[in-house]
Structure 1
């Protein structure tokens, strides 16, 4: 397989790259990080495209009146976006599985001390109520433990993680509101479109911020191993 650092072909029975000396463990971890980064980018692209398309749909609604408004036509126009949000949710689930595998590896490689057992890397996403606050704490802990940070840098990392998680929760809530919204009146249709745009924006921003955390943690751990 090719080396993730220099691109040279490494035989499967060799533990280190003959060209740059990279360990297989570091090579595999970086490959998983790159895969998660690219999938998050694809999720951000889909969400951003949905938001832009919804903004274009909102333009004719601004010029409509109660006499010219057609709720049936608006409902048919908005129906595909519910499917897009559903597909985005499925893609986020697939990305989340690979993300958990990457986070499990990153948590094990980050130096301690750790406040929580490694099993909470997975359980923290599955347990009700706990999954509202534990996952970002685990990511933040892995991030700051992977490098040497001053107080200001720790605070900046905390803001990135907090912004990512807030966008995740708000994006999920707004997407749910959009799919269950009504278009019976012009005011309701305008509100539903605005909710959809906000949901898409939050999801795109969440994916972008998560990309930043994956990039930084992977970079720090690969550099430390070298």
Structure 2
């Protein structure tokens, strides 16, 4: 319902808490997921019918990373984990990204316990970030810099409500910790990237987290 209401064609979801990996259809939507056998964490990509039919291949790499190729285009979904696990995820991403051709429009979605600086950080972070950079933020910026990627939800000026993706219980502090990364040469194709506190994500997703939506051309 929220995908229809907000005009979302491809949705990345984390913390799905499903065992194993699967690829199935439900009410006109295609659900591809990869999770732990213990039913903790896990990641998923949900596609509307017209986009689901464009899936050329799917790589359910692990319970933390899965990749789909849409007619030569790639999307990836990462989940959040401890600092040690995040380092492992970055190492695994090296292998996954190696499967994406240099001319493909690579999009990485995920949430890391990462805070990038408020203000521009080289070519990897725009001037509309949030918060004080932490060590995990340094790792993300380094990752983006080395691969010529940019944090899409920092390149557009937004109302403060459109920047933060997580708030501490009691709404004491708000953070930007959920990101969509795109290749720098493709950032001009992105027309919008912001969070939506009003989206109804409380049924199956942590109620303190906001949905992040990006509008982009894929040609």
* TM-score (structure 2 length as normaliser): 0.23
Greater share of residues in helix: 1
The structure in which a higher percent of residues are strand is 2
Structure of higher CA gyration radius: 1
